[in-house]
Amino acid sequence: MFVPFLLCLGSAIGLAAALYLPDLADLAMLFGPMLLAAAWLLLRAVRGQSTDRRLRAEQAIKGQIDTHSGPPRRGLFTRKQAPPQYVVVDGSNVMHWKDNLPQIEVVRAVVDKLVAAGFAPGVVFDANAGYKLMGKYRHDHALGKLLGLPRDRVMVVDKGTPADPVILASARALGARIVSNDRFRDWKETHPEVALPGHVIAGGVRDGQVWLDMA
């Protein structure tokens, strides 16, 4: 770019001298075209340097990407997390799975097993669950603490309200499956999904361990 700059500068000086000095007026016909040609060469040189810088910058960025290739950091160009897979647990049914005696530990074991499998469990109890488990009424928060679940994942239905329709309606609203050994035969007409294979997950306790038929 240095040579076009010198040509442009020399032509400009020569043209200025030809315009201001009468004795050199004839040289204006020479220096005018020279100045235009030199300016054109200078412009091409400037554009060429700009293009070279852009290409070098792109290559440098590409090199950094190649050097640090691998899985992107969390939050960078990653897909949004998939919505949780909810499962509604029939707490009053599950708590009788071991020896047919009400035990909150069995419900907790089922909850832990579901969480370990990647599910988001919610538990619904009959109103008398607390009386059967501890001899007194227990509300959502108290049972939630025993299950390691937040209060909004545990529901104790009101006295006189059957838990089954609440379980079925919750599962339908969440697109969730149900954990229970109840087949909900009385509700098949309004909730035909209970007859679908795998919609209601059966289970039990075998050799002291909870099992679930997730197939």
Give Rg (Cα) of the chain.
40
Residues of the domain holding 47: 2-67
Same domain, 60 and 139: no
State the pLDDT confidence band at 212, using cuts at 50, 70 and 90: very high
Instruction: Please check whether residues 93 and 27 belong to one and the same domain.
Output: no
Clarify whether residues 195 and 115 are in a common domain.
yes
pLDDT at position 65 is 31
The token pair at 123 is 């538990």
pLDDT digits (tens, 9 = 90+) for 7-24: 455 556 655 655 555 555
Instruction: Quote the longest CA-to-CA distance of the chain.
Output: 123
Full-model pTM: 0.63
> How much is the pLDDT for 174?
93
Average pLDDT across the chain, whole number:
78
Strands 177-179 and 200-201, bridge-based pairing: parallel
Q: How far apart are CA 13 and CA 29, in angstroms?
A: 14
Between residues 187 and 84, which one has the greater pLDDT?
A: 187
CA–CA separation, 109 vs 94, rounded Å?
10
Beta-carbon neighbour count of residue 62 at 10 Å? 10
| pLDDT of amino acid 49 | 52
The predicted model gives 130-159 an average pLDDT of: 94
* 111, amino acid identity: V
pLDDT computed for residue 136 by the predictor: 96
Domain count within the chain: 2
Domain contains 32? yes
Residue in the structure block whose two tokens are 């089922």: 110
CB 132 within 8 A of CB 175: no
How far is 38 from 195, CA to CA, in rounded Å? 87
Span 126-133, mean pLDDT? 96
The predicted-structure confidence for 160-197, as pLDDT tens digits, reads as follows: 999 999 999 999 999 999 999 999 999 999 999 999 99
Claim to verify: residue 101 and residue 204 sit in the same structural domain: yes
pLDDT at 139 over 70: yes
* Residue 54 and residue 14 share a domain: yes
Q: Which long-range contacts (CB under 8 A, 24 or more apart) does 39-44 make?
A: 39/8, 41/4, 41/7, 41/8, 42/1, 42/4, 42/5, 42/7, 42/8, 44/4
SS3 content of the chain, % helix, strand, coil (to 5): 55, 15, 30
Residue 124 lies in a domain: yes
Q: Is residue 77 part of a domain?
A: no
At 214, is the pLDDT very low, low, confident or very high (cuts 50, 70, 90)?
confident
- Please check whether residues 113 and 174 belong to one and the same domain: yes
Please give the pLDDT value at position 83: 76
Q: Letter for the amino acid at 69?
A: S
Tens digits of residue pLDDT in 39-78: 555 455 555 554 454 444 334 333 433 333 344 444 434 4
Same domain for 194 and 150, yes or no, is yes
Residue 152: what residue type?
A: D
Chain-centre distance of CA 78, in angstroms? 7
